[in-house]
Amino acid sequence: MSAYPPSPATLRPPTDPPGPPGGPAQRPNPAYAELYAAYERAYASAPTLEAALDPPVRTAGDAWVGPAARTWERQLETERGQLKKAAAQILWDIYDALSKVPPYLPK
């Protein structure tokens, strides 16, 4: 999970109060809250997505042998690597979008 961006717990949750008392009046930004929730869901499910092809990779050589089986196993390993990269990329895309949206808007 080292390829992942920071966890959602390190970011400002949309439920935090909007700054110091006496400061400008602010309201929560619905876009930030939506992205934050999406980031939490994606972050929680990324390990499951990464591991989706682990069982077939572990059993590939047991069920089928021969040149075609080895080719298929290599392709499966390639797809497994791409799936792991995709899981991290999804998180980075949401994290980047979230970092560009302010958590609060002026009232």
* Cα–Cα distance, 60 to 76 (Å, whole number): 9
Angle, alpha carbons 43-87-12 (nearest 5°): 30
Cβ-based neighbour number of residue 28 at 10 Å: 15
Q: What is the mean pLDDT of residues 4-23?
A: 84
Instruction: Dig out the tokens for 42 from the structure.
Output: 């994606």
* Cα–Cα distance, 48 to 55 (Å, whole number): 12
pLDDT score at 25: 83
Instruction: Look at the pTM and tell me if it is higher than 0.85.
Output: no
Axis-axis angle for helices 67-99, 54-63 (nearest 10): 180
Q: Name the strand (E) or helix (H) holding 26.
A: strand 26-28
pLDDT score at 15: 84
Q: What is the mean pLDDT of residues 79-105?
A: 94
Confidence of residue 22 (pLDDT cuts 50, 70, 90): low
Confidence of residue 2 (pLDDT cuts 50, 70, 90): low
pLDDT score at 86: 93
Lookup result for tokens 């700054």: 19
pLDDT tens digits along 31-84:
999 999 999 999 999 999 989 988 888 887 777 788 888 898 899 999 999 999
Confidence of residue 102 (pLDDT cuts 50, 70, 90): very high
Contact 17, 93 (CB under 8 A): no
